[in-house]
Amino acid sequence: MAKHKEGPLRPVFIRDTAPVEMDAAPGKYFWCACGRSRKAPFCDGSHHKTGIRPLRVVLEESARVWWCNCKHTSTPPWCDGTHHQLKGKEGQLAEERI
């Protein structure tokens, strides 16, 4: 899944600087892309009126996954290690191309 880097800059919260590791069951998930959800790493509707939308993810089989929770990965929704560059900025707004 590639992130669209050509879009406008949008304010994204750095939710946390560690991914959420999970043994995920097959199914449909909505990954929070705005960093505002209280049910992170999943969407709770808090993106309303931000212009940022959650990313729909379908897992065909069970898998151990690492959901990005800093919201700045280049491989959404999966952690790519970018969070290491954001240590100490948890809870801050940072602009991101969506």
Cβ atoms of residues 12 and 52 within 8 Å: yes
The correct pick among 70, 77, 96, 98 for binding ligand FES (CB under 6 A) is 70
Smallest distance, ligand FES to C-beta of residue 14, A: 9
> Is residue 82 involved in binding ligand FES (CB under 6 A)?
yes
Using DSSP bridges, classify how beta strands 63-67 and 93-97 pair: parallel, antiparallel or unpaired: unpaired
> Is residue 31 involved in binding ligand FES (CB under 6 A)?
no
> Is residue 69 involved in binding ligand FES (CB under 6 A)?
yes
Q: Which residues of 32-61 are buried (b: 16+ CB within 10 A; e: fewer)?
A: bbbbbbeebbbbeebbeebebebbebeeee
**Binding segment for ligand FES among 3-11, 43-51, 56-64, 68-76 (CB under 6 A)?**
68-76
**Binding segment for ligand FES among 21-29, 32-40, 56-64, 75-83 (CB under 6 A)?**
75-83
What whole-number distance in Å separates Cα of residue 20 and Cα of residue 22?
6
Residues contributing to the site for ligand FES (CB under 6 A): 19, 68-70, 72-73, 79-83
